[in-house]
Each structure stands twice: as structure tokens, then as C-alpha cells.
Amino acid sequence: MSNATQSNEIVHSVSFLDRDSLNIPTLRILQADGSVYKDAVLPSINEETAKRMYDTCVFIRVLDERMLGAQRQGRISFYMTCTGEEAAVVGSAAALQEKDVILAQYREQAALRYRGFTTEQFMDQMFSNAKDLGKGRQMPIHYGSQALNYHTVSSPLGTQIPQATGVAYSLKMNNDKAVSICYFGEGAASEGDFHAGLNMAATLSAPALFFCRNNGYAISTPAEEQFKGNGIASRGVGYGMHTIRVDGNDMLAVLAATQAARDFAVENNKPVLIEAMSYRVGAHSSSDDPSGYRSKEEEDVWRAQDPVARFKNWMLSQGWLTEEEDEALYAKYREEVLAQVKVSEKVEAPHIDELINDVYDEPTPLLQKQLKELKEHVNKYPHAYPKTAGRF
Amino acid sequence: MAQMNMLQAINDALAIEMEKNDKMLVFGEDVGHFGGVFRATSGLKEKFGPDRCFNTPLTEQGIAGFANGLAANGHTPVAEIQFADYIFPAFDQIVNESAKFRYRSGSEFNVGGLTYRTPYGGGIAGGHYHSQSPEAYFTQTPGLKVVVPRNPEQAKGLLLASIRDKNPVVFFEPKRLYRASVGEVPEGDYEHELGKADVVQQGTDITVLAWGAQMEIVEKAAEMAAKDGISCEVIDLRSLSPWDVETVAESVKKTGRLLINHEAPLTGGFAGEIAATIQQECFLYLESPIARVCGLDTPYPLIHEKEYMPDALKTYEAIKSTMNF
Ligand SMILES: Cc1ncc(C[n+]2csc(CCOP(=O)(O)OP(=O)(O)O)c2C)c(N)n1
């Protein structure tokens, strides 16, 4: 028999497996009040790391709240929050090393922050100004940073999943002892790219961590209309991959799972699938109104499961945070974010030459001709092109 | 007649045909209860039930393949691809399968009843991935029809014709006009024939040709040119595949000049195909080279969207220089 991975049990009457044949446990370490389950095995975490994780949560809370406000005021065109999923993103990011490569979907700004993306860098991207690393070419929240090993976000869903497999294989070939981590939603896990990416990672032995944020919704589509299997985790098993399901609102559980997954992936050059069970507390994006497809009561149930509050309580119990410090942290970031909005929104737009740069390594003759004609046109009608007129 | 915006007109067309044709199904991402992210399918699930209007999982490849199977088995699927930018995961199913079902099987099978609806185009600060105009990828595919409406009245008549057409149709909806374009739309059933261009404004000096959201732009340019004493004949192509060579050639024989405007990049864009054909049909009538005002050969930008766009000013300038050639 050529199917080397098939098990050998033979039966003599019909019996089907179904989604419940696979009993997938959920790892949880923190109780809702922030205390630790008594039999729980804690991840490796020290005060400094814990503070950095909490700091990231607070910053992202403030950023999300303020930038959604800025979008409502018309100061930026678009925004997406990660509210309710901070533990999933920060907990996993904190388990990584700097050399590990992050491929995000779009709701993982907290991972980028954890790596050190500055408030100014966030804001410059959102205002599409001349200092934006992405040169004002993509909508707000499409961040990326070579220096921080964080691939620039692309809107088409799922495309980063097989790419993460390629990155991981490259890390293996280079003997870097590093992983790629790929974030995606349970909705994006329906794309063909998901299946292709996981199967390639498993068969080619790529040290990739596939991190599914199962937050219950893809825009208006609830998870039960997205898939019928035992979550996304069951698919990892199907592809022959180590798989774990965690409580995505539990910072320590996510940290523990991702630490173990990373160790396993690096040691064995094999992928791991992590499914973090959480909830998208906010709207899908600033263009969306969730009241059209779900109830406030449902949202409230999840608001009560706030992952940041749970972690905060644990921090308090450790003596690593006080209420006063917490308040001061929020105050500091509120001020910092507001101040930066005022600075970044005044920075001028990228130069018109950036329109044709980076299409290829060098602008082709045809692109150069098009730019020259465009500049002549802008010069003739400067009032119609206020962002670039008079600046070349 | 009723005042409608383009979304309402599209919704109306879908409801009319679902009423008449119980084989018709409407589906796609967020299409069910929510009515689609733009609300083009609002109320259809309530009216026709969850078996005929529903959410699919998030997979364009799956949506298109599923639609092919439905249509090959005699249903009339109208599949929504949430943004034209996301049609590419479905590209194989559309260009290799939908387009070639009839031909490759010797007409044993076909997917004639199939329509893909998808919002396309920019001008909405969407950057790339919410702004592309990928029509030319599909016009190069034999077996597909490609249709683009310019306003609510056209959208309803063209969509009804597309759904009833015996061939798979990719129906590109200009999303920047979804709510912005409002007009009188006949109540009840009517169709606009596919493959026929529409002469929107008669003129004598130059033929100005566009489709979809760019019609507004060229009409504005024609108005500006009129103040300089230039008479533009403005044509809406409406169907890109098949396209109405005859109407365009006739117009160019009269005016002696042609300008084509589209939002997609210049290189490999559909304007090139039109220019080549019209040059052949009308060589001895042409008084100046055929002009193209198109998107730049760059991905669709965000911050430099105004600069990128083949807008009315650029079109007006091109009209003048074509006249003064
Ligand atoms: C290929 C593709 N199809 C459709 C979209 C439009 N779209 C953007 S986000 C989204 C929902 C994604 O849901 P999920 O992956 O569960 O992530 P979440 O937003 O819940 O974090 C959709 C349909 C897209 N960006 N790309």
C-alpha cells in the first residue's frame, strides 16, 4: 500500500467518523477573574515580558478607540480594530523571537506593536503620508516592516498562508532555527490558499505556525455558516499536523501554546496549527454595522470575557501592576496617540514620483513617459491635484 | 418609473427574475441575511428563502466552481464576488471552466445560465484591492460575455439580459456609482440587448467612447469641449464582449476621430483592442490617431488616486489635442 500514513485498523461493519470523533480540548490557564487554575502549567514568563505584553494591550486598546474616533471624524478613511482579540495576538507574538517572520491578515496590529512599531509609524501609515513605509499606496492598517520581520499586509484573504509555508521552508534551508507565523481568521480558512498552504507545509516539513483567530464572524457570516467541521483545528489533524486549540481570551494559554508550538516546529522542522477561540467584539471594520446581523446581548456576553481585564487581574495578583500604574498607562497612551495624530496628519503626501516607483525595480521607459506627461498635466491644472501640485 | 439608485435597480432586477425563474439562485459572501456588503441582495433571502439566497463560505474559487456545477445541471446561478479585486481566486473556474464548458464538451454541457456580479473600479479611496478594473482579463477569454452598466436604468435592463443570456456573463458593477447614481428606472421587466453600444450623445467632431463609471467622466469632458466649440459623439459600449464594432465604426466614419477612456491600466487594456479594430475598419476616415485616456501602468494607488485616474480634465485635454492633430 502506498499510503504510508494510513492507520491499519480494519473493521467489518460500517461505521462513520464524524466531527465529534475528534475530541479537541481547549487549553485554558487563567480563570475569568484572572486567577490561575490550580492544575495549570504556566508558560515561561517573567515580569519584564508580562509588562511588555500588558503595555501592548493598553496601547492597542487606546489606538483602536482613538483611530475609530478619528475615522468617524473623517480624519482617516478606514480602520479595523482588534478589540477582544488582544490576548490571542499579543500572547502569540510574545512567544516568538525577533528572527521569526510574521505574516498577518490585518487585525494583528498588536503583534506589530509588540515588536516595536512606533506610534509614529502607525500613524504615518494611516495618514498615507510621505513617511509611511508603504508610501501611501495601501489603505489604513496595511502595515509592514522589514526591520521588524513583519510582512506588509495584503487585502486578498488567505494569500499569506502558502507564503508563510514558503518563508518557513526558506528559514529551514538557511538553518535559521526560526519559524514563520501566519495569522488568519476562520473565514479566510475557507479560501483555497489555506488548504494549499497547510498541505504544503505538512508535506514539505516547513516550520510554520498557522494561527487561526476564530472570532466567530467573517464580516456578517457567523462561523456556523462558514464551516461544519470541528472548528479549524480538526483540519490541522487532517493535514497531519500538530494542532492545538486554546482559549483566545486567555493570554497565558495562548503564550503557553505558542511557546510549545514554536519549540516543536524549530526542533522538528514541522508546522503547527493553533486555533484561538475568541470573539470579534467590534464591527468588522469602520465600514460595517454589526447590528444588522447580531444582537447586542451576544456582544455583551463576550465583552464580559474581556481578555485584557483577565490578564490585568493576573498582573495585579502578581504584584506586577497597580491600579494607579494602569491608569497612568492609559493616560500616557491617550496623550501620545492624540499628539501623534496631530503631527502625522500634517505631514505632506508622498512625492508624485512614488506613483511609478516600485512597480518594477526601476521605472520602465513607458512609466517614465507616463509620469512626465502626468506632471505636465498637473502643472497645467494645479488646483485639481492639490496633493502633488507645485511639489516637483 | 421610480427613482432608484444603482443598488436598488440591481436588487429589483434580481427580485424580478427570481420571481419568474424558480431555478435562479443568488449567493456569495455575506449575500444572505445581510444582503451583501453593499446591500445589492437585501431582502431576497426573506422573499425567496434561504435555499435560493444564501451566504457561502469565504472562497471565490468555491463560489465559481459551485456556480459552474449548478449551471451545468440546469440552474440559473447569480454569484456575487464581493469585490472584482477578489475575482482572481476564482479565475481558473471562470476562464477555464465557465468560459469553455460548451466548447470543450461539443455542447454536451454548458453553463449558459451563469452570471457573475462583481463591484469594480476606483474613485473611492480604496487603494489597490478595492479599486481594480479587471475587465480585460475576461475580454480575452472566448466564451464569456462581459457587461458593464453606467446607471441604474441600464443596470437593471442589462442585468436581466445577462441572467437570461445563454452564455456565462461577468457583470461588472461600477461601485462608485452604487449610491451616487440615481435616476428614473422603469418598473417591471425590461431588457437591454447585450452586444449593443448606446449612443448617448450625438456629435460631429470626435467619437468619445467609454463604459461604466467612466461614462460620467467622458460626458463631463464632452461638456467642457462643447464650450470650445467641439462637438463630441459620446458612446457607452455597455458590452465589452462581444462588443459593437458596427456602431463604433459608423460613428468614427462620421466624426473621423476616436478617443477611448477606461480606468484600467493602458497596457493590455481593452482600449488597445478597440483602437486596433477601428483603425482597420475606418483607416481611410481617420483624421487623427486614435487617442486612449486610461489608468497609468501602475497598480491602483491610494494617495495618488486623483493623479492616476483618467479624469475629465485629462480626457478634455486629449479631445483638444486630437482635434488639433
Ligand atoms: C479573497 C478575498 N475575498 C473577500 C474579501 C473581503 N473580505 C475582507 S475581510 C473579510 C472577512 C474575513 O473574515 P475572517 O477571515 O474570519 O477574519 P476577521 O475579519 O473575522 O478577523 C472579507 C470577506 C477579501 N479581502 N479577500
Chain B positions touching A387 (Cβ under 8 A) are 303-304, 306-307
Task: Give CA–CA dist A108/A118, Å, rounded.
Answer: 15
In the prediction, which pLDDT does A32 show? 87
CA B291 to chain centre: 21
Residue with cell 460613428: B251
Q: Which atom of ligand 1 is nearest to the CA of A284?
A: 19
Give the type of residue at B117: R
Unique residue bearing C-alpha cell 493616560 = A331
Q: Is the pLDDT of residue A161 over 50?
A: yes
pLDDT category at B72 given cuts 50, 70, 90 is: very high
| Across A311-315, average pLDDT | 98
pLDDT of residue A4: 66
Contact criterion met (CB below 8 Å) for B244 and B237: yes
A1 pLDDT above the threshold of 50: no
Closest protein CA for atom 12 of ligand 1: A218
Mean pLDDT of chain B: 98
Distance CA A80, CA A226 (A): 21
Q: What is the pLDDT of residue A152?
A: 98
Convert the pLDDT of each residue in B291-318 to its tens digit: 999 999 999 999 999 999 999 999 999 9
Check whether B153 has a pLDDT greater than 70: yes
In this structure, are residues B259 and B315 in contact, taking their beta carbons and an 8 Å threshold? yes
Q: Residue A69, SS3?
A: helix
pLDDT at A96 (0 to 100): 98
> pLDDT (tens digit, 9 = 90+) per residue, B78-98?
999 999 999 999 999 999 999
The 3-state DSSP class for residue A113 equals helix
The reply to whether ligand 1 has any atom less than 6 angstroms from the CB of A107 is yes
CB contact under 8 A, A136 and B317: no
Min distance B143 CA to chain A CA atoms (Å)? 25
Within B210-311, residue ranges assigned H as helices are 214-227, 245-255, 270-282, 305-308
pLDDT of res. A176:
98
Query: Are the Cβ atoms of A359 and B297 closer than 8 angstroms?
Result: yes
Cell output for B175: 461601485
| Ligand 1 centroid to residue A187 C-alpha, Å | 6
pLDDT for residue B70 is more than 60: yes
pLDDT in tens, A55-110: 999 999 999 999 999 999 999 999 999 999 999 999 999 999 999 999 999 999 99
| Portions of chain B given CATH number 3.40.50.970 | 2-185
Question: pLDDT over 90 for what percent of chain B?
Answer: 100
Q: How confident is the model at residue A6 (pLDDT cuts 50, 70, 90)?
A: confident
What cell was used for A316?
A: 495585579
The CB of A273 under 6 Å from ligand 1? The reply is: no
* pLDDT reading at A2 higher than 70: no
Phi (first) and psi of residue A336, to 5 degrees: -60, -45
pLDDT tens-digit series, residues B179-196? 999 999 999 999 999 999
Q: What does the block give as the cell for B248? A: 463604433
Q: State how far the Cα of A306 lies from the Cα of A83, in Å rounded to an integer.
A: 9
User: Which residue's C-alpha comes closest to atom 19 of ligand 1?
Assistant: A218
Does the beta carbon of A280 sit less than 6 angstroms from any atom of ligand 1?
Answer: yes
> Of all helices (H) and strands (E), which one includes residue A314?
helix A307-318
Q: Which helix (H) or strand (E) holds B209?
A: strand B206-210
Q: What is the pTM of this model?
A: 0.97
Q: Which pLDDT belongs to residue A390?
A: 87
Residues A8, A14, A15, A18, Cα dihedral to 10°: 100
A10-19, A235-244, A362-371, B191-200 — which is least confidently predicted?
A10-19
- Output the pLDDT for position B18: 98
A3 pLDDT exceeds 80? no
Q: Is the pLDDT of residue B144 over 80?
A: yes
In our burial notation (b when 16+ CB lie closer than 10 A, e otherwise), range B236-272 reads bbbbbbebbeebbbbbbebbbbbbbbbbbbbeebbbb
**Paired strand residues for A209:** A181, A272
CA distance B30 to chain A (A): 6
* Domain B198-323 -> CATH class: alpha beta
Start and end residues for every CATH 3.40.50.920 domain found in chain B: 198-323
Q: Are B99 and B141 in contact (CB under 8 A)?
A: yes
Q: Is A61 in the pocket of ligand 1 (CB under 6 A)?
A: no
B196, B217, B218: which is closest to B207 by C-alpha?
Answer: B218
Computed over every residue of chain A, the mean pLDDT equals 96
Using CB atoms, pick whichever of A219, A356, A387 lies closest to residue B30: A219
Contacts of A157 in chain B (CB under 8 A): 58, 86
- Residue A12: Cβ within 10 Å count: 5
Cβ proximity of A278 and A84 under 8 Å: yes
For residue B293, the chain A residue with the least C-alpha distance is A370
Q: Which residues does residue A26 pair with via DSSP β-bridges, in sequence order?
A: A245
Distances (CA, A) of A115 to A54, A68, A275, A338, B271: 13, 23, 22, 22, 47
Give the bridge partners for B76, in sequence order: B24
Question: Cβ–Cβ of B127/A139 closer than 8 Å?
Answer: yes
B10 in Cβ contact with B40 (< 8 Å): yes
Quote the ipTM score.
Answer: 0.96
In the predicted structure, residue A301 carries a pLDDT above the cut 80: yes
Q: What pLDDT digit, counting tens, does each position of A275-297 carry?
A: 999 999 999 999 999 999 999 99
* Contact of A247 with A28, CB cutoff 8 Å: yes
* Amino acid in position B19: E
* Chain A partners within 8 Å of B272 (Cβ): none
Per CATH, the architecture of B2-185 is what? 3-Layer(aba) Sandwich (3.40)
Ligand 1 atom with the shortest distance to the CA of A156 = 26
pLDDT attached to residue B277: 98
Q: What percent of chain A has pLDDT over 90?
A: 96
The mean pLDDT value for A111-117 works out to 98
> What residues of chain B lie within 8 A of the CB of A225, using their CB?
32, 55, 57
Nearest to B231 by CA among B263, B261, B208, B197: B208
Return d(Cα B13, Cα B160) in angstroms, integer: 6
